[in-house]
């Protein structure tokens, strides 16, 4: 159906007249042809512009998608390389490395870092592509950016604790301040780390309680599982013990313990007798110390106390109760506990007679 036929089928168009009556105006064929020519002329003048805009938008989207896939794949490969052991066998390059490497800790740290990097890369790439697409349509981005800035400031003030927790968690993970399996003191709570997140760190306390610590609230962290630990045992003995015999006994215990399994792996330095820590009138304290694997100092201390006690019993060395240990009572005069003779010991003495009860007198019979 042609354009004039469509216009005729649309019906007459009333138009007002000065006398108040309506007249029907029918468009002519020349008007329809003129409108069609104007539309064709507009399309002919602007089709190249719209085609260029469409191709530019398509090119931006394709480049953004390809770049996002490439960047995410590169980040994934980097995280996989971080999560891979040094020798590829899962046990580490050396025995010490195998003891220190924690697979779960390494996996969670790598996963958290990968998630952050992928999210940041996607946000930057897609956000830049969206702004470029809007700029292609010649849209003024200044009001949009200003509104986004104001909204960002409002959200930042409203969720500042959440932002603080997130940023603190990112830096804790990137700096590897602690990980799964570490025993830490976070100030507000202490225990073994069972999960590390970007916002919350989960700890298991000594009594089994699970603590959820917000990363933004942690002001200091004491990691008891990094580097090495120190096992120290104080032995309190009598002040008159032979120091040479005491040291020889402790050296024998230390040498024997250092050669036995599994203590030879837990001990990272020889057990040393540091000497007298304090000397009092009735006792003296000898300190024994050793450097151990992180988190194993308590077990080494218990075993060392056990062995020292058995060795001292065999060597007849007495362990006393500490700085307030009482002195041994010396044997005194055996007659010192005997009471002095008393006048009441003689039944015929005046004192005994004076204390004799008076017997009642019976009346004489009539």
Please tell me the pTM assigned to this model.
0.48
Over residues 130-142, mean pLDDT: 81
Over residues 118-145, mean pLDDT: 83
**Rounded-to-integer distance, Cα 246 and Cα 308, Å:** 10
Q: What is the mean pLDDT of the chain?
A: 75
Q: With helix as H, strand as E and coil as C, how does 150-194 read?
A: HHHHHHHHHCHHHHHHHHHHHHHHHCCCCCCCCEEECCCCEEEEE
Would you call 115 exposed, middle or buried from its count of C-beta atoms within 10 A (0-12, 13-18, 19+)? Answer: middle
The DSSP output letter for 199 is: S
Q: Is the pLDDT of residue 335 over 60?
A: no
**How sure is the predictor about 103, in pLDDT bands with cuts at 50, 70 and 90?**
low
**64 or 28: which carries more pLDDT confidence?**
64
Over residues 215-230, mean pLDDT: 83
Largest CA distance in the chain: 181
| Window from 113-122, 158-167, 275-284, 328-337 with minimum mean pLDDT | 328-337
Over residues 25-35, mean pLDDT: 71
**Rounded-to-integer distance, Cα 364 and Cα 366, Å:** 6
Q: What is the pLDDT of residue 69?
A: 92
**Rounded-to-integer distance, Cα 141 and Cα 164, Å:** 30
**Rounded-to-integer distance, Cα 213 and Cα 211, Å:** 6
pLDDT for 78-89, tens place per residue?
A: 888 776 655 444
Q: What is the pLDDT of residue 97?
A: 41
Q: What is the pLDDT of residue 318?
A: 86
**How sure is the predictor about 104, in pLDDT bands with cuts at 50, 70 and 90?**
low
Q: What is the pLDDT of residue 333?
A: 53
| Window from 41-55, 108-122, 350-364 with minimum mean pLDDT | 350-364
């Amino acid at each position: 159906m042609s354009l004039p036929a469509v216009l005729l089928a649309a019906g007459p168009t009333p138009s007002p007249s000065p006398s108040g009556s309506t007249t029907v105006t029918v468009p002519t064929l020349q008007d329809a042809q003129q409108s069609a020519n104007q539309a064709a002329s507009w399309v002919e003048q602007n089709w190249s512009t719209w085609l260029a805009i469409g191709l530019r938008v398509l090119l931006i989207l394709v480049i953004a998608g390809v770049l996002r896939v490439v960047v995410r794949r590169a980040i994934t490969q980097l995280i996989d390389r971080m999560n891979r052991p040094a020798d590829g066998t899962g046990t580490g390059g050396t025995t010490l490395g195998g003891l220190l490497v924690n697979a779960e800790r390494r996996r969670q740290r790598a996963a958290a870092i990968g998630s952050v990097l992928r999210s940041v890369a996607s946000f930057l790439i897609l956000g830049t592509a969206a702004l470029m697409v809007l700029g292609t349509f010649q849209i003024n981005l200044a009001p949009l950016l200003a509104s986004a800035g104001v909204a960002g400031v409002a959200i930042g003030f409203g969720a500042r604790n959440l932002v603080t927790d997130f940023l603190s968690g990112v830096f804790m993970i990137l700096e590897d301040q602690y990980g799964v399996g570490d025993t830490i003191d976070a100030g507000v709570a202490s225990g073994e780390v069972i999960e590390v997140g970007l916002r919350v760190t989960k700890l298991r306390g000594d009594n089994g309680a699970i603590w959820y610590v917000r990363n933004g609230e942690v002001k200091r962290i004491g990691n008891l599982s990094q580097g090495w630990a120190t096992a120290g045992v104080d032995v309190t003995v009598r002040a008159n013990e032979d120091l040479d015999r005491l040291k020889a006994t402790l050296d024998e215990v230390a040498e024997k313990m250092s050669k036995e399994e599994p203590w030879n792996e837990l001990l990272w330095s020889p057990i040393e007798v540091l000497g007298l820590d304090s000397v009092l009138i009735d006792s003296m304290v000898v300190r024994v110390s050793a450097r151990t694997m992180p988190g194993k100092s308590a077990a080494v201390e218990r075993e060392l106390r056990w062995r020292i006690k058995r060795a001292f019993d065999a060597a007849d060395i007495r362990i006393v109760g500490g700085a307030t240990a009482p002195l041994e009572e010396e044997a005194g005069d055996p007659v010192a506990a005997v009471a002095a003779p008393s006048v009441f010991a003689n039944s015929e003495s005046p004192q005994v007679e004076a204390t004799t009860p008076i017997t009642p007198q019976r009346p004489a019979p009539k």
